[in-house]
Structure 1
Amino acid sequence: MSSSSSQPNRRRKTTTMALSSQPNRRRKTSVTDLYVPVECWECIITFLKDDNRSLKSLSIVSKQFYTITNRLRFSLTICDQTLPFLHLLYRRFTNLTSLNLSRLRSSLSNLNRLLRQISCFPLKLTSLNLSNQAGIPANGLRAFSKKITTLTSLICSHMKRIYRTDIFLISNCFPLLEVLNLSYPLQCIDNAEVEYVTLTFFKLRKVDLSGNQYIDDKLLLNLFTNCKLLEEVIMVCGLGITFDGVASALRETPRLTSLCLSSVDFVSHITSQFITSLASLKYLTCLDLLYSEISDELLSSIANEGLPLTRLLLQACSGYSYSGIFCLLSKCRHIQHLDLQGAAFLTDKHVVELSLFLGDLVSINLTCCKLLTISAFFALIKSCPSLSDINMGNTSIGKKSLESSKSLMDFTPRPQLKYLRLAGNQWLTDENITMLASISPNLQLLDLTSCWGIKEGISQVLRMCCNIRHLDLTFCSKVKLLEMNFEVPKLKVLNLSYTNVDDETLYVISKSCRGLLQLSLKDCTNVTEKGMGHVVENCMQLRLIK
């Protein structure tokens, strides 16, 4: 009996062992099947990353990810603290194509030395940013250009000093540049008569010369004549450049697609020669005229020529009327970006009429159009199915009652609306913003700066707009957030400067907005270390506190 009884036990034990070993074999097989090639990891990480900070997080996961993220790092910002480690960084990030030196606080001699050092590394740089420096580092750029011949973009904006000859130095060093930015130097020095020297930018497509006092009509004509591939130009009239000078230059660039022209004053008026030259640009899709004295004649000339405009900015312009803008928009019906900031003549009725021609509209700026109310807002989102960005700051959007506007709107959700800027609307109420939030479920940015009538309604807005990422409540002294007892997982940037926020409010915020990256609390006198402690403890991703 003992032998017969032991037999089944042995069989059961054998069976049990066989079954228990089976999962182990399956686990080994599954691990092998989950092997992902390096190429696939590169695609996945490239898809997931949103900036270089996310690459930093991924690089500490494993040695494999460390190697992959090093290869996927293409841009590097150099500051004073990183200078001693440059040789290590260049060896680590071998695929760098863009260098940003704008945060350096070095002297011109040190900048020259640094560029010579950079030129010794085997980099294939295509972009170099030297903004905010003392001046153009001539010797360093000469050495740099001899070793690194792949540069296509050079940015030198807000330099402390720039010479008239610097543009010719850059031309000789980098004749294959496609993008050049020399905008807004603090001081311009006319050190030579060089207008007869030929500029050799054979491939230049985009140039920004804003604020350069030494650029005059002759030098501008020289540039345009020798840069036949120019597509985008940004400049300022009223210094050394006149509208007639621009007109002569424009005749040399028939392929121009984008022109941004601003005026330092309203003394320089648009001339008939400029109108004729502008209307002849058959490929012009983007026209920015800022702080300029324009006319209905200019707008109607553009309309009559049928220019293929998709972007029209008339920010802070004067001299035109509703008749001119109606003529243009009724004939150029593919406008996607429209800026009529400061058009004081615009009324709700005008916007209702114009919106019928704006079926392709994506963004609109109607800041400081004081006569516009919430009726204009409704008319736009009703007639413009692609409209995602509305700026109606300093208007009267909250002055008109909601009841008088319901006939223009069926209150169905508008999921395409993502950016709403309503700063400076003193009549805006909780009822207004709650209603706007109810029809904007995908809102990502909401700017309510100096909207003094906002109180408890902001909590309801955050509850309805769960995708909101950026909220600005600066100078909203009556705003209250104590009722925010729910999560706002996607909120990244919150500005509560110059409000009455206190420690208790910060505790509520820290519990609801754990994903915050930036928090601004300028002049919030009711905040103490206790409130800041709540934020630091609960908002683990926080990168910046003001």
Structure 2
Amino acid sequence: MEQFSFNPYREVDTMFEEPLVPLVEGKNMRKLTLSDLYPEILTQIFGYLDTRDKSRVAQCCQYFNEICKNRQMWKGTEARLNLKPNQNPIYQSLSVRGVSNVQVLSLKRSLRDLTSHVPIKKLKLSGCYNVTDYSLSSTVNLENLVDLDLSLCKQITDLSLYSIVGKAKNLQRLDLGGCCNLTDRGLLLISYGLRNLVKLDLRSCYSLTDRALAYLAGEVQINEPKTFNFLAKVGLIENPNCVICKRGGSGGASSSSTSSSSSRASNKVVLPKIDEFTKFGMLKLQSLVLQDCQKISDTSLDYISRIPSIQSLNLSFCVNITDNGLKHLKKLPKLSELNLRSCDNITDTALINLKDCPTIQHLDVSFCEKICNLNYHLCRHLRTLSLSACDISDSALMAVDLGALETLNLGQCRKLSDLGLRAIAEKCTRLKYIDLYGCSGVSTKGIEAIMGLSTLKHVNLGLWKV
């Protein structure tokens, strides 16, 4: 029988209220209840419940409430809160149980109370329309924060990033998707204070230009007038002509502050001054999402190539990206995933330029209507290939090695016929998923050839007509 070892549980008295009577026929005995079990056993049992049921159990009695304070029971739990006034008991309960993942569904006041009671590791504010710069500046304790989701918080500006840089120095994942008020200056702050970011999502940040990517790559010219004035304004650099700097900067407190004023300024961010020795740039960035950032161009790809840790790059809907810009990506030794979906200026030449990137395993060029042919050297390493709505024909699929493919998307490829499907069935011996949505040129014979693959798990035939 498998042996179970339980951690000591000293917070709860494990003695029964009355001794148990052995089972003897003809004699009455007290009925055993769930509360007669040892706390260690109850901890294991309650651990199988979902979050809502755990909360209900904790409200049954004081005994169960104490047991439900075991942090192991709540490991990985995400609290979903509507922030309202006078919720300190809830925050204290989360802190006692070790719940550090929080999703804010609505916000009717600042984040001060939440962050002062709960040591948050993951904070999701996605879609909270009333999150502002003040909301983030009111946060207190973000030292443990590693994952922050601010997607669709459309009111925040670069000043919010100043607060994040000063308070969440251990941040590893940051989602700013849809924050359309962010500018290149915000990325300058990120490259200065959040150099350990692993994932950065900037999708639909329409104001970002090539200069923003230069900052991420560490290409910062402090003496440039606009850059210098911005850094002086936020108090990160000394400017003798700046009135704000003479007052100690927007992020710092005056040394002569009284006790009352210092308490009011307890949430103010104080960052080290920038000098000629200050370093910028992302050291550990692995995933970068630039979807729908339509102002970036091939110049940005040159800057991105100077971040050698990049493994995943999303450039979908970046209409100014061309074939020539993709040449720079060969400098990325770890690039394994590339998304070029709906990049209208991408042609067959782009795939030729990517042949020098042997580490790419996942490629999406869907809706790039100028792509007609594939590159042999590029395709033989791919595990995922998306060609939806491309001008791909049977001959293009027959001319390349697809032996490593596991996922193939060919939806709306009108030129595809049974001949192409038979070629796929012969070449793609590892194929697990194929999308044939809207491929009107194939018949049941081609489908039968695909279905003969032993590794195939799913086929999408939506809108397919024989």
- Residue in 1 that maps onto 2:333: 385
Alpha-carbon shift at residue 334 of structure 1 (Å)? 0.7
Question: What is aligned with 1:529?
Answer: 444
Deviations 1:357-416 (A, max 9, x none): 42333333333333232332222323x333x1xxxxxxxxxxxxxxxxxxxxxxxxxxxx
Asked whether the 8 Å contact 1:141–1:173 carries over to 2, the reply is no
Indicate if the aligned counterparts of 1:441 and 1:465 stay in contact, CA closer than 8 A.
Answer: no
Give the conservation status (yes or no) of the 8 Å contact 1:179–1:204: no
Instruction: Please tell me whether the aligned partners of residues 442 and 466 of structure 1 are also in contact (alpha carbons under 8 angstroms).
Output: no
Contact 2:191–2:282 under 8 Å retained in 1: no
Q: Secondary structure at the match of 2:174?
A: strand
Matching of residues 128-527 of structure 1 within 5 Å:
138=52, 142-143=56-57, 176=72, 177-181=74-78, 195-199=87-91, 200-202=93-95, 204=98, 206-209=100-103, 212-213=105-106, 215-218=107-110, 220-228=111-119, 230-236=120-126, 238-239=128-129, 241-249=131-139, 251-264=140-153, 266=154, 268-270=155-157, 272=159, 275-292=162-179, 293-305=181-193, 307-323=195-211, 325-330=213-218, 331-336=280-285, 337-352=287-302, 354-355=303-304, 357-382=306-331, 384-386=332-334, 388=335, 418-433=336-351, 435-436=352-353, 438-455=355-372, 457-458=373-374, 460-461=375-376, 465-481=379-395, 484=398, 488-500=402-414, 501-527=416-442
- Post-superposition shift, 1:539? 0.6
Q: Tell me the TM-score normalised to structure 2 length.
A: 0.62
Structure 1 residues 502-511 or 424-433, which shifts more? Answer: 424-433
Partner Cα distance (1:449, 1:326) in 2: 28
Give the TM-score, by structure 1 length.
0.54
User: How many pairs does the alignment contain?
Assistant: 349
Question: Contact 1:279–1:302 at 8 Å: present in 2 too?
Answer: no
SS in 1 for 2:138: helix
Structure 2 residues not aligned, in runs of 5+: 1-40, 219-279, 461-466
| 1:143/1:339 CA distance change after superposition, 3 Å | same
Aligned-partner Cα distance in 1 for 2:378–2:300: 32
Query: Which has more helix, going by share of residues?
Result: 1
Report the equivalent of 1:103: none
SS of residue in 2 equivalent to 1:533: helix
Provide the rounded CA distance (Å) in 1 between the counterparts of 2:399 and 2:297: 41
Greater RCO, 1 or 2 (C-alpha within 8 Å, sep 6+): 2
- Would the alpha carbon gap of residues 316 and 280 (structure 1) be closer, same or farther in structure 2, given more than 3 Å must change? same
Unpaired segments ≥5 residues, structure 1: 1-119, 131-135, 147-168, 389-417
CA distance in 1, matches of 2:47, 2:131: 31
Q: Which amino acid aligns with 2:76?
A: V
Deviation of 1:291 (Å): 1.1
Per the TM alignment, residue 449 of structure 1 is displaced from its structure 2 partner at its CA by 1.0
The offset of 1:506, in angstroms, is: 2.0
Partner secondary structure for residue 217 of structure 1: coil
Q: Residue 145 and residue 497 in structure 1: after superposition, are their counterparts in 2 closer, same or farther (change >3 A)?
A: farther
Residue 197 of structure 1 aligns to a residue whose secondary structure is: helix
State whether residues 247 and 278 of structure 1, in contact with CA within 8 Å, keep that contact through their aligned partners in structure 2.
no
Secondary structure at 1:233 match in 2? strand
Q: Secondary structure at the match of 2:150?
A: strand
| CA deviation profile, 1:141-162 (whole Å, cap 9, x unmatched) | 635999xxxxxxxxxxxxxxxx
Cα deviation for residue 140 of structure 1 reads 7.2
Say whether the 8 Å CA contact 2:290–2:314 is kept in structure 1. yes
CA separation of 1:124 and 1:378: change in aligned 2, threshold 3 A = farther
Q: Equivalents in 2 of 1:319, 1:379: separation in Å? A: 23
Q: Cα offset for 1:240?
A: 5.1
Measured in 2, the distance between the counterparts of 1:487 and 1:324 equals 38
Query: Which AA in structure 1 matches 2:182?
Result: I
Q: Deviations over 1:108-134 (max 9, x none)?
A: xxxxxxxxxxxx999679787x7xxxx
8 Å CA contact retained: 1:208, 1:233: yes
Distance 1:371 1:539, change over 3 A: same
The sequence identity of aligned pairs, in percent, is 19
Q: Secondary structure at the match of 2:288?
A: strand
1:155-186: per-residue Cα shift (whole Å, max 9, x none)?
Answer: xxxxxxxxxxxxxx9x9777552433367xxx
Amino acid at match of 1:236: S
Q: Specify the code of the residue in structure 1 equivalent to 2:337.
A: Y
Root mean square deviation, CA, Å: 4.0
Please give the per-residue CA displacement for 1:299-354, whole angstroms capped at 9, x wherever unaligned. 444445475434333222245554455345421241423333333333333543x2
**C-alpha displacement at 1:541, in angstroms?**
2.1
